[in-house]
Amino acid sequence: MRFCLSTYTSNKKIKFLTGDSEKLSDVPELQGLAVDMVINVESSHCYGNFKEFVRQVDKILKPGGLFIFTDFRDQKEIEPMEAALKSFSLVI
């Protein structure tokens, strides 16, 4: 987070926030807002409830917003991950 804040501090179009992945809509800075993009890099495999994370992303994204996601999974986890991604209004 420090790197992002120090590197991109001059770009007023970007905000970096911290919060609970399964309660994104409860983050004070996001209350009542819709965001253009959510980027998640190699951390969602640690979340207790991946489907809830995806629901929260779907909830805070603007229509046409982007969810940029990369992570690693065991082969047996791919199908449930894909099912979670398809269970909301996200377009893959």
**Residue 56: is it exposed, middle or buried by C-beta count within 10 angstroms (0-12/13-18/19+)?**
buried
85 in Cβ contact with 78 (< 8 Å): no
- pTM for the predicted model, two decimal places: 0.84
Residue whose token pair is 């603007």: 62
Between CA 88 and CA 19 the distance in angstroms is 21
Domain spans in the chain, listed from the N-terminal domain onward: 2-86
Between CA 34 and CA 63 the distance in angstroms is 9
The model's pLDDT over 20-60, given as tens digits with 9 standing for 90+, comes to 999 998 999 888 889 999 999 999 999 999 999 999 999 99
